Structure 1
Amino acid sequence: MVEDEAGVEVERLVVKVVLLKMMYAIDRSTDAERIFDIDAKTGAIVTGKVLDRETAGWHNITVLAMEADNHSQVSRASLRIRILDVNDNPPELATPYEASVCEDAKPGQLIQTISVVDRDEPQSGHRFYFTLAPEATNNHHFSLLDIQDNTAAVHTQRVGFNRQEQDVYLLPILVMDSGPPALSSTGTLTIRVCGCDSSGAIQSCNSTAYVVSATLSPGALIALLVCVLILVVLVLLILTLKRHHKSHLTSEDDEDMRDNVIKYNDEGGGEQDTEAYDMSALRSLYDFSEIKAGDGGGGPGEGAPGRNPASELHALPQWVQSPDLDFSVFRDYICRKVEQADEDLSVPPYDSFQTYAFEGSDSPVPSLSSINTWSSGSEQDFSYLGGWGPRFRQLAALYAGRRGEEDSEES
């Protein structure tokens, strides 16, 4: 049967059975796409879809014949169908041809030989015809020659080409088959103008490279390359210097941070340090005149007339031992100063911590001030030094022995 036709009767199957009514069907496992249909009563096979020989040239199906009243009685028959070709595909160029021509080409020089392909397979074979397309009738650069063997040749028609003026030519070619019906298509041949050596070998087909090479001498090209190289070196040098400078600043910042760390470790001199701390600042807060007045029964001018300087000096430390003294004045003063320092945000931190020690009133012994040396030895009793520890016991023994010697001398 012929392709591109649907609904055409392909074959009629007739089974002669006496006094039996038959039915026909197609085994769909052999025709899954349902390309063919069959009449269940007459057995006529027709096409259900349009056929294409280029897709499938042969089809094999299985036809079933069975009794209408008893479908278990079935016979099978294989049917092989060949699709005949019709001319429904135009010829085309075999490949997207690209040709090259030298700038110094002569007239009649062969540039390219072209051929075509056709998907159809006519029984008499292919016969193709070549000609320039109507839009190329005014072309004076190239000619097309049909060689009569289903190929064609392209030749030059002028002397020389200039790729600065035009470096690419497009030549449309019309190809036609012998039909029936005759079908045709148009393909384009791309021709590039190239520079060739004396033997005709192509050197370059790039017009941009040609212009650059024509306008720049070798010396200019070398100078351009040297300038580019110098520019790259300068960029690399600047980047290196910036990186080195950044690392140097980072190291300086680290050193400054380490230098700013200051350790304060100021330790006082202890009891023997009589110059670092001024005890008069604390003593001046307490009114010694009132204490003296309370002990002596009057003001400074109303004291006992018989009191000598030694007795006054000896009585000076006696106010410390008074049980009526209130040292909360010192405590309040220190607390008030601490609060002021804590609340004042503008005050810088102190570099040292000063400890003020003052002898309290609970001490059972009198002061060891050198003022007591003015009094006579008989007025002093050094036995209390024994309660201060082993070292002071030895000192008490020395003073007690010395006092015994003085008493024996007086007696």
Structure 2
Amino acid sequence: MKENYCLQAALVCLSMLCHSQASTLERRSHLHPSFHGHHDRGKEGQVLQRSKRGWVWNQFFVIEEYTGPDPVLVGRLHSDLDTGDGKIKYILSGEGAGTIFVIDDKSGNIHATKTLDREEKAQYTLMAQAVDRETNRPLEPASSFIVKVQDINDNPPEFLHEIYYANVPERSNVGTSVIQVTASDADDPTYGNSAKLVYSILEGQPYFSVEAQTGIIRTALPNMDREAKEEYHVVIQAKDMGGHMGGLSGTTKVMITLTDVNDNPPKFPQSVYQMSVSEGAVPGEEVGRMKAKDPDIGENGLVTYNIVDGDGMELFEITTDYETQEGVVKLKKPVDFETKRAYSLKVEAANVHFDPKFISNGPFKDTVTVKIAVEDVDEPPMFLAPSYIHEVQENAAAGTVVGRVHAKDPDAANSPVRYSIDRHTDLDRFFIINPEDGFIKTTKPLDREETAWLNISVFAAEIHNRHQEAKVPVAIRVLDVNDNAPKFAAPYEGFICESDQTKPLSNQPIVTISADDKDDTANGPRFIFSLPPEIIHNPNFTVRDNRDNTAGVYARRGGFSRQKQDLYLLPIVISDGGIPPMSSTNTLTIKVCGCDVNGVLLSCNAEAYILNAGLSTGALIAILACIVILLVIVVLFVTLRRQKKEPLIVFEEEDVRENIITYDDEGGGEEDTEAFDIATLQNPDGINGFIPRKDIKPEYQYMPRPGLRPAPNSVDVDDFINTRIQEADNDPTAPPYDSIQIYGYEGRGSVAGSLSSLESATTDSDLDYDYLQNWGPRFKKLADLYGSKDTFDDDS
């Protein structure tokens, strides 16, 4: 501090000396144009006069941080007009005037009253003026001047950061750049050496050095090892004044970390590892672990393990646990204590990554011996095969041998085993197993068509320890026997158009048929279609085998007529190719149908045929109903006449006509459709909007259908009526009767009348049957038609 004060005092004295000399100098006012007396030409010929400046002038300086007892003399202002009589007054204005800088208005001396800091403000601009003391009239124009604050070394260097962090790879070469540190000095760099810095290292030798001018830190020792020391604390100093004595200084800390390189190989801490494994262990089970240590970190410390030699290479494997960097020995295949009781492995540990420049240090791997002992356990029985497949023919008798399973105890004791079938399924009801030898037999005949494969499970348990058991799947295939005859693949039905005899036959089949066989394809790969021997020469149809498991049914003739026969049943024999072959007879239904001129099917119903012939269904129903009524009347009349002559028929309340009405009571129009089910009498054509005419007679005569036989002499009335109704349903020539139309179709308000044509109101006990005489010829015709002359005669 004494040195600083001395320096400051010397500078103050020097400054005062300079100012004293400057005040005695005659500084001409050529610095200000108004102070000279030269004449210049102005605008419009005006003569301008330049006045001479009267200031004695110099630039002023003041030392910063001056702390002396008296104010510091900055300088003195003096005018040529000042004769020393005190008539001139000096005035100071501008930055800091009156506060920092004060002036003696008589002598013009300027003093600094406060301590100045250059780093806060480097210079001040002031205005000076000389005026008449009495009148305050300016004697000269005001002029500005500068007071500069002169720098002293009062600021030490400061670093940008208090602590720097840097990394450098271990084993770096000497002189490797680590980091650059930078400091700054607030003093004036243009004045002296106050801001000239020099760097040096205070802590961190001999590992690091720093460049004095730049602040760059470099490595100073070769082969620095991270594994020996990872972090270093370095202190750097920056000193001003060029590092000379008396300069100010600042320091910073630098934390330098050595980064890892792969310069160390993995190393096992021991030369032999002992492990053991149970013979009951399953593949994939862990046997033991080992670890090769590598002082490197990160990927440089990653280690991989491999089995390179040993008699257990086929039974064991090793993997790497990258989280713990351990080698994990696992069982690859089951081991057997009775076969071999110990194994030896040679395991190698090597780095995953390595640096080629360090290979010269030696191989980056290490090996160790691993000895594994096999431990004995009580093992369950073992089947000689993992699964079994046996075969048996279907329909084989109960007790047939299917096959055999075999298991044994792998332990040295070789305990006997016993066999059983798993009872958790219902398949055990088909098979039994001999518990001692493992032979499997059937308990009942099997049907392949029901189940082709049967899967069971067989257990084998030690006789001395039932808990030690093994399980094996057994698949039993049921072999096919040709025990099913082929049948139609679908319920086939054929159709043929009725046609003339002269119409040529079509080459198209009526229907193409195929067959199905439940047996395996080996027992019937091809089906054979034919007609039975007894109808091989069927005049109507024939069967042609297509030799592709299908056959076509063809017509042998034309001229089929629904009037003669509208339905044919054709038996077809289907045989398979099994040994022995199986066959079945299947019936094909062939209908005779009506077709248009192009052979397009229209209808296969007999009703449609009659409609085409010109007679309506309604007419047939009316005729049949009338016949039924008449037959009932005749039967009642003849029966009562034979039993009693007079009266012929006696009823308590009503006569015969009324009885007839009661038998075929019409009802009240629509109401009779509600009271009786007459759907069977409805005309199908009427539903579709077409109602054939019922008031005309068909243009052709109906030929009796084949197969109708005369009724016997004595029949039951119900049977007789039902028979005649059935025949009348197929009679296209039956005439229409209004009374029957009323029964079948009339509703409320019918204009057809009623059965009152038979109604004859009478209260006499003698009944009049004259009206029946008109029906005699018709009964005769009906009897001739049906061939029953014994039942009806002219007298009836």
**TM-score of the two chains, using structure 1 as the length reference:** 0.53
Please, which of 42, 46, 55 is the counterpart of residue 450 of structure 2? 55
Structure-2 residue corresponding to 1:134: 533
- 1:147 correspondence with 2:618: no
Structure-2 residue corresponding to 1:222: 693
- 1:81 correspondence with 2:480: no
Aligned residue for 1:186, secondary structure, equals: strand
Please, which of 94, 107, 116 is the counterpart of residue 505 of structure 2? 107
Aligned residue for 1:222, secondary structure, equals: coil
Write out per-residue CA displacement over residues 360-410 of structure 1, whole angstroms, 9 at most, x where no aligned residue.
xxxxxxxxxxxxxxxxxxxxxxxxxxxxxxxxxxxxxxxxxxxxxxxxxxx
- 1:208 correspondence with 2:607: yes
Structure-1 residue corresponding to 2:419: 24
Give 1:120 deviation, angstroms.
0.8
Please, which of 458, 461, 464 is the counterpart of residue 66 of structure 1? 461
Residue type at the aligned position of 1:164: Q
Please, which of 485, 502, 505 is the counterpart of residue 90 of structure 1? 485
In the TM superposition, 1:152-171 aligns within 5 A as 152-171=551-570
In the TM superposition, 1:291-302 aligns within 5 A as none
Q: Give yes or no for contact 1:170–1:190 (8 Å, CA) kept in 2.
A: yes
Aligned residue for 2:584, secondary structure, equals: strand
Structure-2 residue corresponding to 1:361: none
CA distance in 2, matches of 1:156, 1:237: 49
Aligned residue for 1:123, secondary structure, equals: helix
CA distance in 1, matches of 2:554, 2:498: 14
Give 1:108 deviation, angstroms.
4.7
Give 1:236 deviation, angstroms.
10
Pair 21,96 (structure 1): closer, same or farther in 2 beyond 3 Å: same
Q: Give yes or no for contact 2:594–2:604 (8 Å, CA) kept in 1.
A: yes
Residue type at the aligned position of 1:172: P
CA distance in 2, matches of 1:92, 1:192: 21
CA distance in 2, matches of 1:73, 1:146: 64
- Tell me, which stretches of 5 or more residues in structure 1 are unaligned? 239-411
Structure-1 residue corresponding to 2:577: 178
CA distance in 2, matches of 1:3, 1:217: 61
Pair 32,182 (structure 1): closer, same or farther in 2 beyond 3 Å: closer
**Higher helix residue share:** 1
Give 1:112 deviation, angstroms.
0.8
**TM-score of the two chains, using structure 2 as the length reference:** 0.28
Write out per-residue CA displacement over residues 296-340 of structure 1, whole angstroms, 9 at most, x where no aligned residue.
xxxxxxxxxxxxxxxxxxxxxxxxxxxxxxxxxxxxxxxxxxxxx
Pair 172,125 (structure 1): closer, same or farther in 2 beyond 3 Å: closer
Residue type at the aligned position of 2:749: L
**Once the two structures are aligned, what percentage of the paired residues are identical?**
44
Give 1:217 deviation, angstroms.
7.8
Pair 61,23 (structure 1): closer, same or farther in 2 beyond 3 Å: same
Give 1:237 deviation, angstroms.
12
Give 1:51 deviation, angstroms.
1.2
Residue type at the aligned position of 1:176: S
Aligned residue-pair number: 239
CA distance in 1, matches of 2:579, 2:596: 49
Give 1:150 deviation, angstroms.
0.7
Give 1:125 deviation, angstroms.
6.1
Give 1:54 deviation, angstroms.
1.3
Pair 153,212 (structure 1): closer, same or farther in 2 beyond 3 Å: same
- 1:3 correspondence with 2:401: no
Residue type at the aligned position of 1:3: E
Q: Give yes or no for contact 2:524–2:577 (8 Å, CA) kept in 1.
A: no
CA distance in 1, matches of 2:616, 2:521: 62
Q: Give yes or no for contact 1:85–1:122 (8 Å, CA) kept in 2.
A: no
CA distance in 2, matches of 1:69, 1:217: 94
Residue type at the aligned position of 1:97: Y
Pair 116,138 (structure 1): closer, same or farther in 2 beyond 3 Å: same
Structure-2 residue corresponding to 1:192: 591
Pair 124,142 (structure 1): closer, same or farther in 2 beyond 3 Å: closer
Q: Give yes or no for contact 2:543–2:554 (8 Å, CA) kept in 1.
A: yes
**Higher strand residue share:** 2
Structure-2 residue corresponding to 1:317: none
CA distance in 1, matches of 2:746, 2:616: 21
Give 1:211 deviation, angstroms.
2.6
- 1:234 correspondence with 2:766: no
Q: Give yes or no for contact 2:431–2:441 (8 Å, CA) kept in 1.
A: yes
CA distance in 1, matches of 2:474, 2:572: 45
CA distance in 1, matches of 2:746, 2:402: 83
Pair 231,48 (structure 1): closer, same or farther in 2 beyond 3 Å: closer
Structure-2 residue corresponding to 1:119: 518
Q: Give yes or no for contact 1:108–1:157 (8 Å, CA) kept in 2.
A: no
Give 1:152 deviation, angstroms.
0.6
Compare 15-24 and 87-96 and name the one that shifted more: 15-24
Aligned residue for 1:126, secondary structure, equals: coil
Aligned residue for 1:232, secondary structure, equals: coil
CA distance in 1, matches of 2:562, 2:431: 61
Pair 144,127 (structure 1): closer, same or farther in 2 beyond 3 Å: same
- Tell me, which stretches of 5 or more residues in structure 2 are unaligned? 1-390, 620-691, 696-735, 754-796
Give 1:138 deviation, angstroms.
3.9
Give 1:31 deviation, angstroms.
4.0
Give 1:38 deviation, angstroms.
0.4
Aligned residue for 1:54, secondary structure, equals: coil
CA distance in 2, matches of 1:11, 1:135: 49
CA distance in 2, matches of 1:46, 1:200: 63
Write out per-residue CA displacement over residues 226-264 of structure 1, whole angstroms, 9 at most, x where no aligned residue.
9647942436999xxxxxxxxxxxxxxxxxxxxxxxxxx
Pair 10,156 (structure 1): closer, same or farther in 2 beyond 3 Å: same
